[in-house]
Amino acid sequence: MATIDSILVVVDPTVEHDFVIERAKGILRYNKASVRFFINTSNTLTQHSYAYEGMDGHFLEKQRLLFIEHYRKILHELVEEFSAMGVSATSTFTEEHNLAEAILSEIREYAPDLVLKSTHHHSLLRKTVITNTDWRLIRKCPKPLLLVKPRSWFEEGSAVASVDPLHAKAAQSKLDHKLIETAEAVARAFNQTPKVFHCYFPFSSTMFPTATETIDQLRELKERHEAELNELLAGHNVESENVEITRGDLVPSLIHYLDKTNANILIIGALSRNILERAIVGNTAEKILDGCPCDVLIIKPD
């Protein structure tokens, strides 16, 4: 990822402690960048929406203005706090009904180098919930997108790039290099360990071999993946002990590795796909993002 000169921080005013602010401070300690804080809340307190309940329109408008004042106060305090740190800080407040489209519109207007947004922690489910807004941003956000989980970073953690050197799409090879370079840059900036993860899933014929098939096929498959991964890693500064290649189901294997390595951030790529690919890959991505114990940075091809 190139030098970060500007950051857009999507603030969630509904949570008491928004970890996205903590991440922004961490990034700005190592990058001299400007920051814009953004809040969007749709205006549901309209006279028409509550007319059937006989509520007074003037009362509803007053309540709406109080909410706006509250949100603007949050933004003002953030701008003051970061300005006191020597950061060039601004803010924007909107009232669009579609949060994802409001964020995308702000991205087009501000053109940041990095977008930060927290994912929601659902107390009843006791898990982090990836919302429809998050999915919309993953698909449409033209800039690197950091989805922040509600937890602090490990002091001695890792930045993990998940790569797939045998991916059929030609753009993937360049994207994998970009993912590794980003992991290395994050590791240098935050005193973390850069790591690379690759998981491959054997074809059904190698998982359930016939009488004519032998264990040699699995060995040959492993050697092919290892060779491609080694070729990908050539020129990168990732120690061999920090490279993981495994066979099996991607989601549990990756999540186990992230837990084992005290991962603070998972760096993954997002390629444009057709409808069928989105249905298949989207399901896997949902499982990864929901089960991922750390922040997720989504990178697009150049």
Tens-place pLDDT, residues 204-251: 444 455 544 567 788 888 899 999 999 999 989 999 999 999 998 888
144 has pLDDT over 50: yes
What is d(CA 178, CA 275) in angstroms, rounded to the nearest whole number? 25
Which of 122, 116, 151 has its CA nearest to residue 134? 116
Confidence at 125, pLDDT banded by 50, 70, 90 = very low
List the structure tokens of 222: 């492993």
Token pair for residue 301?
């091809």
C-alpha 76/C-alpha 279 separation (Å) is 41
Cα 237 to chain centroid, rounded: 24
Task: Give the mean pLDDT of the chain.
Answer: 84
Question: d(Cα 168, Cα 9) in Å, to the nearest integer?
Answer: 34
CATH topology of domain 153-302: Rossmann fold (3.40.50)
The rounded percent of the chain whose pLDDT value lies above 70 is 78
| Structural domain spans, the chain | 1-152, 153-302
What residue ranges in the chain does DSSP mark as E strands?
Answer: 6-10, 34-40, 89-94, 114-118, 120-122, 127-129, 145-148, 158-162, 193-200, 243-247, 263-269, 295-299
User: Burial, 279: exposed, middle or buried (Cβ in 10 Å; 0-12, 13-18, 19+)?
Assistant: exposed
Q: CA-CA distance, 201 to 55, in Å (whole number)?
A: 59
71-109 pLDDT, tens per residue? 999 999 999 999 999 999 999 999 998 999 999 999 999
Give the pLDDT score at 56. Answer: 60
**Identical fold at 1-152 and 153-302?**
yes
Q: Check if CATH label 3.50.50.60 holds for domain 1-152.
A: no
- Distance, CA of 13 to chain centre: 19
